[in-house]
């Protein structure tokens, strides 16, 4: 329905401020002839120790910025400020409906509302179940052993199912963001979205990504899973054939650091690749100039060893004196340096929680979108000072020596 823009924004505002119904809202696109400080904004409600907040994440070409606004006047003020910006499109998911608003070239608003599909719950974290994106009854979950023949998640596979669910929840908006911003090309039937999963193992998340992107989002996808083990390739290929997915999902045997693909991938996944295998995957993604990278690191032994044999800077000796503390600090330092180096190499990077610590201690996800932004002096200085202070050389820098030198020399 066509509405006056002010009336349409008032309706959107009412929905955004309903903390009992809002699941997720996204503002994107720029109105014709107007400047916009942010490329995209996302909103949802979260429950923190200090009460319920509206969480607002804004995206520029370099990184994401997240702020939490207490329910009431602070949240209302944040909503009003964002609605005053010249976003061309608003997409709002609630527990009952999906509202979409688009501003026309003439400055009017086209408003469309439809019922939400399936049962949905509001997006409050910490106290409510999230919207279920992966139906346990889907045949592929039974085929890979997560669900039983009645479509119920097996008790012993609850943690794996939660990983699949949370991965899909992070994957979908990342792909949509990269498509909307032009960071990855819009796929067609003849030129599908090309995705590679490096170190795919039993391919739980490979199949999850393929099913969600082709089924729920309706995208044509060519998925390749890569693993060093022939038995993994044989098992996964047989499952793909059993599911009727063999044309879109294929599997290869190769080391991550030297795999060669027939087509350059648009999206690179590396999920729980051990130690420096994650760095090898990130390095391949950078060499391929992949538009979107999602990496969930596993163990971090490389920097732990370097820290054990080097002197800690200044007053920070306590961070490496005890083995368990050194191990946890190395985890944080490793992922921080990976994110820093990816920014230097032209990516916008976020480091977010993958799943809760009750399901796995390896619950960090690095989400990177290629922007080709040149490295800035503050970014270079930050990286040089951090590696110099701790006397470490990240494995990702060793895997990309030429590109690292070039980024630091500019």
We report the CATH number of the domain holding residue 246 as 3.40.50.150
Q: What is the rounded average pLDDT for all residues in the chain?
A: 87
Q: Are residues 157 and 251 in the same domain?
A: yes
Q: Which residues contact 379 (CB under 8 A, 6 or more apart)?
A: 340, 343, 344
Domain assignment present for 394: yes
Q: What is the pLDDT of residues 47-97, one digit of tens each?
A: 887 888 998 988 776 666 788 999 999 999 999 999 999 988 898 888 888
Domain assignment present for 109: yes
pTM of the model: 0.70
Highest mean pLDDT among 142-151, 301-310, 371-380: 371-380
Q: How confident is the model at residue 108 (pLDDT cuts 50, 70, 90)?
A: confident
Q: Are residues 111 and 144 in the same domain?
A: no
Domain assignment present for 133: no
Q: Map tokens 């999963």 to a residue.
A: 197
Domain assignment present for 25: yes
Q: Are residues 207 and 282 in the same domain?
A: yes
Is residue 362 pLDDT above 80, yes or no?
A: no
Dihedral-angle region of residue 62 (phi above 0 means left; psi in -120 to 50 means alpha; beta otherwise):
alpha
Q: Are residues 102 and 200 in the same domain?
A: no
Query: Which residue segment(s) compose the domain that 231 sits in?
Result: 139-409
Domain assignment present for 122: no
Domain assignment present for 339: yes
Q: How confident is the model at residue 119 (pLDDT cuts 50, 70, 90)?
A: very low
Domain assignment present for 130: no
Using the 3D structure, point to which of 78, 99, 115 is the last residue of a domain: 115
Is residue 116 pLDDT above 90, yes or no?
A: no
277-288 and 323-344 helices cross at what angle (nearest 10)? 0
Lowest model confidence (mean pLDDT) among 32-41, 54-63, 181-190, 211-220 = 54-63
Q: Find out whether 112 and 1 touch, Cβ atoms under 8 Å.
A: yes
Distance separating the N- and C-terminal Cα atoms of the chain:
52
Q: Are residues 85 and 174 in the same domain?
A: no
Using the 3D structure, point to which of 115, 131, 155 is the last residue of a domain: 115
Q: Are residues 101 and 233 in the same domain?
A: no
The confidence score (pLDDT) of residue 314 equals 79
Is residue 253 pLDDT above 90, yes or no?
A: yes
Q: Are residues 234 and 363 in the same domain?
A: yes
Q: Are residues 79 and 202 in the same domain?
A: no
Domain assignment present for 123: no
Q: Find out whether 203 and 195 touch, Cβ atoms under 8 Å.
A: no
Q: Are residues 168 and 63 in the same domain?
A: no
Using the 3D structure, point to which of 83, 115, 147 is the last residue of a domain: 115
Q: Are residues 245 and 310 in the same domain?
A: yes
Q: Are residues 150 and 106 in the same domain?
A: no
Overall number of domains in the chain: 2
The confidence score (pLDDT) of residue 320 equals 84
Q: Are residues 284 and 393 in the same domain?
A: yes
């Amino acid at each position: 329905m066509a509405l006056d823009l002010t009336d349409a924004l008032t309706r959107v505002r009412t929905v955004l401020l309903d903390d009992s119904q809002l699941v997720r809202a996204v503002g994107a696109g720029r109105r014709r002839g107007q400047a916009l400080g942010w490329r995209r904004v996302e909103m949802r409600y979260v429950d923190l120790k200090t009460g319920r907040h509206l969480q607002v994440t804004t995206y520029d070409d370099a990184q994401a910025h997240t702020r939490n606004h207490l329910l009431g006047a602070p949240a209302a003020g944040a909503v009003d400020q964002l609605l005053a910006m010249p976003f061309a499109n608003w997409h709002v998911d609630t527990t009952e409906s999906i509202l979409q608003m688009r501003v026309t070239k003439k400055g009017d608003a086209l408003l469309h509302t439809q019922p939400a599909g399936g049962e949905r719950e509001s997006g409050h974290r910490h106290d409510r179940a999230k919207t279920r994106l992966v139906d346990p009854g889907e045949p592929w979950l039974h085929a890979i052993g997560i669900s039983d023949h009645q479509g119920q998640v097996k008790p012993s596979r609850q943690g794996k199912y939660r990983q699949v669910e949370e991965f899909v929840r992070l994957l979908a908006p990342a792909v949509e963001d990269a498509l909307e911003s032009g960071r990855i090309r819009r796929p067609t039937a003849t030129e599908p979205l090309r995705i590679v999963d490096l170190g795919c193992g039993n391919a739980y998340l490979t199949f999850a990504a393929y099913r969600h992107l082709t089924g729920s989002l309706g995208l044509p996808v060519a998925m390749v899973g890569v693993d060093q083990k022939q038995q993994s390739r044989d098992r996964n290929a047989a499952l793909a054939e059993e599911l009727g997915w063999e044309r879109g999902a294929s599997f290869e045997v190769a080391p991550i650091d030297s795999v060669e693909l027939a087509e350059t991938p648009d999206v690179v996944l590396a999920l729980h690749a051990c130690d420096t295998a994650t760095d090898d995957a990130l390095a391949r993604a950078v060499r391929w100039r992949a538009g979107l990278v999602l990496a969930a690191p596993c163990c971090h032994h490389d920097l732990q060893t370097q820290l054990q044999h080097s002197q800690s800077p200044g007053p920070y000796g306590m961070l490496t004196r005890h083995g368990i503390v050194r191990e946890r600090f190395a985890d944080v330092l490793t992922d921080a340096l990976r994110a820093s180096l990816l920014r230097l190499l032209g990516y916008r990077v976020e480091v977010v929680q993958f799943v809760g610590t009750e399901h796995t201690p390896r619950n960090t996800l690095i989400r990177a979108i290629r922007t080709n932004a040149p490295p800035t002096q503050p970014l270079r200085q930050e990286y040089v000072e951090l590696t110099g202070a701790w006397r470490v050389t990240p494995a990702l820098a060793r895997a990309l020596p030429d590109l690292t030198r070039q980024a630091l020399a500019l």
